[in-house]
């Protein structure tokens, strides 16, 4: 893999770690990883997007970035103000935003916040979540409080080896290869063992969810071309709720294109697939379709 450049950003009392590929003078692509992943999620896709400066950020609570304060949360909108600050520091030109899974939800909100400063939006096996519509709001809030207490009290998690970490991550739909790609920014060596760096609070549910009307309003405000790439064996090809999310996006986003590529939920990390993903993204960036 191509060795990236390490970056650091400080905003709102938080430090965000990032890695980048490409030249400073090239158009900026801001890449946002999925739940419990980190910037190395783009270790194969980043250098394949030749002609662009790809900046992959460790979102707060992930990788080498700061954990949020104890009175804060990890809702999908919490990183948006800091990401806008990072965009300001990177360039005064338009940027391209790419997001995977949970990062696709964050990327959608970021694109809406940036407005005309975002030229293109690419969503990889992810959209705004739609699974909260039928949940009782009070019950969800009570669940959030219970889980917040639970995960605040959780002790550091250790693994005997990187291989054990990779085996555990396989339970969340990862291949062993994909999990091992993330390990250098997911683990810290401590006393002969490997400590998990991600904030345990990320395992907890949200206090509230965007409802259908809010999702539709956000989608309709996206004036930029949007490309959704789904893995044939990803989440969006086998789940009815996720299919509804795709239908909502297609009906509401003014300039929306979707495509399916053979691969898993983490298709952008798969060596045999990433070239196809990169090719499709570059085609989209050059044509808008």
Q: Please answer whether residues 112 and 68 qualify as being in contact, where contact means their C-beta atoms are separated by less than 8 angstroms.
A: no
* Spatial distance between the Cα atoms of 70 and 153, rounded to a whole number of angstroms: 12
Tokens of 109: 């909100």
Q: Beta 53-57 vs 28-32: how paired, if at all? A: parallel
Q: Beta 226-233 vs 256-264: how paired, if at all? A: parallel
Nearest in space to 36 (alpha carbons), one of 66, 56, 61, 7: 61
| Alpha-helical runs (H) found in 153-201 | 162-169, 176-186
Looking at the DSSP bridge assignments, the partners of residue 268 are none
* Spatial distance between the Cα atoms of 162 and 184, rounded to a whole number of angstroms: 9
Question: Around Cβ 159, how many Cβ atoms within 10 Å?
Answer: 18
Report the catalytic residues.
101
């Amino acid at each position: 893999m191509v060795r990236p450049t390490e970056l650091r950003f400080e905003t709102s009392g938080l430090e965000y770690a990032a890695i980048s590929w490409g030249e400073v003078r090239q158009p900026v692509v801001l890449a946002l990883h999925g739940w419990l992943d980190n910037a190395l999620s783009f270790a194969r896709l980043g250098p394949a997007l030749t002609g662009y400066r790809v900046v992959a950020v460790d979102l707060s609570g992930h990788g080498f970035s700061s954990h949020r304060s104890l009175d804060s949360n990890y809702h999908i909108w919490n990183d948006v103000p800091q990401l806008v600050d990072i965009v300001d520091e990177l360039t005064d030109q338009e940027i391209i935003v790419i997001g995977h899974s949970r990062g696709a939800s964050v990327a959608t909100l970021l694109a809406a916040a940036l407005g005309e400063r975002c030229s293109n939006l690419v969503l990889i096996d992810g959209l705004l979540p739609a699974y909260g519509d039928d949940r009782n709001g009070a019950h969800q809030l009570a669940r959030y409080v219970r889980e917040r207490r639970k995960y605040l009290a959780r002790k550091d998690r250790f693994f005997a080896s990187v291989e054990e970490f990779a085996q555990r991550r396989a339970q969340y739909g990862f291949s062993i290869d994909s999990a091992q790609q993330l390990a250098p920014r997911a683990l810290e060596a401590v006393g002969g063992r490997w400590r998990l760096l991600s904030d345990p609070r990320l395992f907890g549910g949200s206090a509230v969810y965007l409802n259908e009307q809010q999702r539709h309003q956000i989608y309709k405000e996206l004036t930029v071309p949007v490309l959704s790439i789904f893995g044939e064996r990803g989440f969006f090809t086998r789940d009815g709720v996720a299919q509804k999310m795709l239908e909502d996006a297609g009906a509401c986003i003014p300039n929306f294109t979707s495509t399916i590529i053979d691969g898993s939920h983490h298709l952008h990390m798969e060596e045999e697939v990433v070239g196809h993903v990169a090719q499709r993204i570059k085609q989209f960036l050059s044509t808008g379709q």
